[in-house]
Each structure stands twice: as structure tokens, then as C-alpha cells.
Amino acid sequence: MSRNCHLNGGIVVGEKHLFYSAAFAALIILAGCSMTKPPTDSLARAESGARAADEAKAEELAPVDYKNARDKLAKAKAAMAAERYDEARRLAESAQVDAELALAKAETEILRRAADQVWKKSEVPPTQAELESRKPISQGAEKE
């Protein structure tokens, strides 16, 4: 007597093949589950970026991007707690980008303000030497 399984009206599949197919499918499912790891590194980078933005006063100088970063970081932490690791990773990476953008905008604003102060300080009247250096060349020298 043959040990074969009959499937789909006449297609014969050996028990060994059926076993191997089922084992292979189980391995793929388990591998898929085990590949999604908690995104602790992504979350740590996002938190570090948010702290850097805090230190640069991004909340005041780049409020929209700063708020986006903080909101996404909070959502990433919630997704992490719910073990939705792919979503947590995506949100953490997006939060990191927003935090970096807020930091860049805050630093740019700080530099712009410093440049404005330097510009205002340079609005003092020119010295006598500066005035003399700006005088046109004498007409006698031009005719030579």
C-alpha cells in the first residue's frame, strides 16, 4: 500500500513533500516574525536629535519642525510599547529627520541674529582714514 496523499482531484503529493512544504512555510513565518526587532537604536537617535534641538532652542526658533519631531517621537514610543516595531522605526526615523531640521533652522536663526548684531554695530560713522581712502583719485593724476 502506498503512503501518498491525494489532493486536488488526482494530484498526488508524497507525505515527505507535504511535510517539507509545511516545515518550510513554518520557517518562513517564524523568520518573518523574528526579523522585526525593537528599533531601540532608531529611537535612541531620535531622542538624541530631539535633545540637541532642545539645546539649540528649536522650540522657540523653529517651532513647527520641533513640534513635529516631538509628536512623532511620542508616537514612536507608543508604537514601541504596543510592539508595532515597523511603525515605531518609521516614526522614530521621521522624528530624527524633523529634529535635525529643527536644529538646523534654530542654528541658522541664531547665526542670522548674530550677523544682524554685527551689521548694526558696523553702522557707526566711518573714521577719517576710511573717508580718505574712499576719495576719488585727484584729477591731475588722471590726466597723466
**What would the grid cell of residue 84 be?**
508595532
Q: Please list the alpha-helical segments (H only) found in the chain.
A: 15-35, 40-55, 58-61, 63-81, 85-121, 128-133, 139-143
Q: What percent of the chain has pLDDT over 90?
A: 51
**What would the grid cell of residue 36 be?**
522585526
- Domain definitions of the chain by residue range: 37-120
Which of 57-66, 79-88, 115-124 shows the lowest per-residue confidence on average (mean pLDDT)? 115-124
For residue 70, which of 41, 49, 42 has the smallest C-alpha distance? 49
In whole angstroms, what is the distance from residue 32 CA to residue 28 CA?
6
pTM of the predicted protein model:
0.61
pLDDT exceeds cutoff 60 at 122: yes
Query: Does domain 37-120 match CATH 1.20.1270?
Result: yes
Q: Which pLDDT does position 46 carry in this prediction? A: 96
In whole angstroms, what is the distance from residue 128 CA to residue 39 CA?
66
